[in-house]
Structure 1
Amino acid sequence: MRLLVIEDNRSLVVNLFEYFEARGHALDVAPDGVTGLHLAVTQPCDAIVLDWMLPRMDGPEVLRRLREEHGSSVPVIMLTARDELPDKIAGFRAGADDYLTKPFALPELEVRLEALMARAHGRYRKKVLEVHDLRFDLATLEVTRAGKPLHLYPACRKLLETLMQASPATVTRQQLERAVWGDDPPDGDMLRSHVYDLRRSVDGPFTLKLIQTVPRVGYRLAVAHQESPDEEAP
């Protein structure tokens, strides 16, 4: 598990490093909100541990921009000394998936992250994904659109599954590359080639296009009210 920790308390960061790296996890750290947001949208991670009170940009604002401006669905758990109900509500409304008040036990943070990861990576996922008239049976790997079978290569199926799981949120290029190739993506822009092939199968024969490009970020699969030329490019 790769974690992004956005936290300015150095002693807490040291404790997190010692605990999680000893268990085989990798950590990236940002000491302020602006740096944290930049890393969150440019570097792949499995989950984010986000402090509320941060220099330059506070945690709720980082989270709001991550969700609304960048369309990221990465799991986020907020760490904060704010334990009043209105603060918790504000954190969840900003887009947090979980909320843990300080002080806390590191094993509790670990099990909460494991639960978030289980949901995000499909341990509790639906067996059939559906977006508009597109249907993906995860048990049989059968993909249909408007009842018509679609024949996809394995890499395209993995891309489609990742996009449908996140729909209608945007999935970054780094997240898609990791979903298909893990931590060892191939040289060159193979992702663009696979997205092009996926578009030909999923959208080519149909008037309504579902796969959309989000410039400089990644892709999403959703029903758009209005399409732009950028969304037609692979």
Structure 2
Amino acid sequence: MSEKSLSILLIEDNLALAKQVCRFLEGLNWHIDFADKGKLGVSLATENSYDVIVLDLNLPDCDGLTVCQQIKAAQRRITPILMLTARDAFEDKAKGFMSGTDDYLTKPCDLRELAFRCQALARRPALHTNTVLEKGPLRLDTKAYTATFNDKVIKLTKVGFQLLYELTKAYPNPVARSDLISTLYNDELPESNPLKSHIYNLRKVLAQSSSALTLATIGNIGYKLEGLGNA
């Protein structure tokens, strides 16, 4: 295996198995953190950054499904979770995926397969994006579709949030009209162009929110967010 070294969090209460997994993955020059309880696993997962989390379902202090849900809810960076468990029934796998796991491997397993699955999960860029975008006092949460400026809520529609997100991500540069339309409609352009209306509504909301944020129209290019200083 010649791919990059990975950082793995292993949450497993079977110490013999944990040692075996750690020894094998460390032999690949990967960095491994270990937790034998769910609560400790959640703490490590939310305080540190990992490429993949390998999670057992049967833990002494709480169920692995609960641990998975808590990690997914608390993380700002979406880290893929691979459930490693002896439960091989379809119902157990279904519960795992519904709880937020990204892959499922049953025990006993070939540790080479475990490593390959970790590498595959680490290659999925969508699973490693941050769920919170912050520029100065502006904070956008893509999980909850919420926006705050200096901790004050900006009440946005979903479309307004999407527009503000794209403008914030590009700040201090402008965003082309065509790019904003593509974001809203996935390149399936509507018969009319309601972008101006959405921009008008977003300007109105920003003005009413008592924030310093404004939207500038940049000639024939598009729109630019202003009011974040050097963020």
- Alignment TM-score > 0.5, same fold: yes
CA drift at 1:228? 7.2
Equivalent of residue 116 in structure 2, options 95, 104, 111: 111
Work out which of the residue numbers 23, 46, 59 in structure 1 matches 2:28.
23
Opposite residue 17 of structure 1, the aligned amino acid is C
| Structure 1 pair 43–225 and aligned structure 2 pair: CA distance change class (3 A) | closer
SS of the aligned residue for 1:5 comes to strand
Report the secondary structure of 1:56's partner residue.
Answer: coil
CA shift, 1:222, in A, is 7.9
Aligned to 1:170: 131
Residue 94 of structure 2: which of 70, 89, 93 is its match? 89
The residue aligned with 1:224 is 146
**1:221 positional shift:** 8.6
Cα deviation per residue 1:107-159 (whole Å; 9 max; x = unaligned)? 01011111101113xxxxxxxxxxxxxxxxxxxxxxxxxxxxxxxxxxxxxxx
Aligned pair in 2 of structure 1 residues 230, 62: CA closer, same or farther (>3 Å)? Answer: farther
Alignment of 1:1-234 (within 5 A): 1-120=6-125, 170=131, 211-212=133-134, 223-224=145-146, 229=151
Could you give the per-residue CA deviations for residues 167-209 of structure 1, whole angstroms, max 9, x where no partner exists?
98635xxxxxxxxxxxxxxxxxxxxxxxxxxxxxxxxxxxxxx
| AA of the residue aligned to 1:170 | T
Measured at CA, do residues 212 and 31 of structure 1 come closer, stay the same or move farther in structure 2, by a change above 3 Å?
same
Report the structure number with the largest CA radius of gyration.
Answer: 2
C-alpha contact 2:46 2:74 (8 A) present in aligned 1: no
The residue type equivalent to 1:79 in the other structure is: L
Structure 2 residue matching 1:4: 3-state secondary structure: strand
Query: CA, structure 1 residues 87+170, in 2 after alignment: closer, same or farther (shift >3 Å)?
Result: same
Structure 1 runs, 4 residues or longer, greater than 2 Å off = 68-72, 165-171, 218-228
Cα distance in 1, alignment partners of residues 143 and 41 from structure 2 = 26
What's the CA shift for 1:46?
Answer: 1.1
Deviation sequence 1:7-49 (CA, Å, 0-9, x none): 0111111111211111110100001000000000001211100
TM-score (ref. length: structure 2): 0.56
**2:116 aligns to what SS in structure 1?**
helix
Q: 1:224 to 1:29 in 2, by over 3 A?
A: same
Cα separation, 2, equivalents of 1:230 and 1:70: 22
**How far did residue 63 of structure 1 move?**
0.7
Q: Which runs of 5+ in 2 are unaligned?
A: 1-5, 154-230
**Percentage identity across aligned positions?**
36
Q: Which amino acid aligns with 2:17?
A: L
Counterparts in 2 of 1:230 and 1:45: CA distance versus 1, 3 Å: farther
Q: Distance in 2 between matches of 1:220 and 1:92?
A: 21
Gap change, CA 1:45 and 1:219, over 3 Å in 2: farther
Deviation for aligned residue 1:212? 4.8
Q: CA RMSD in A?
A: 2.9
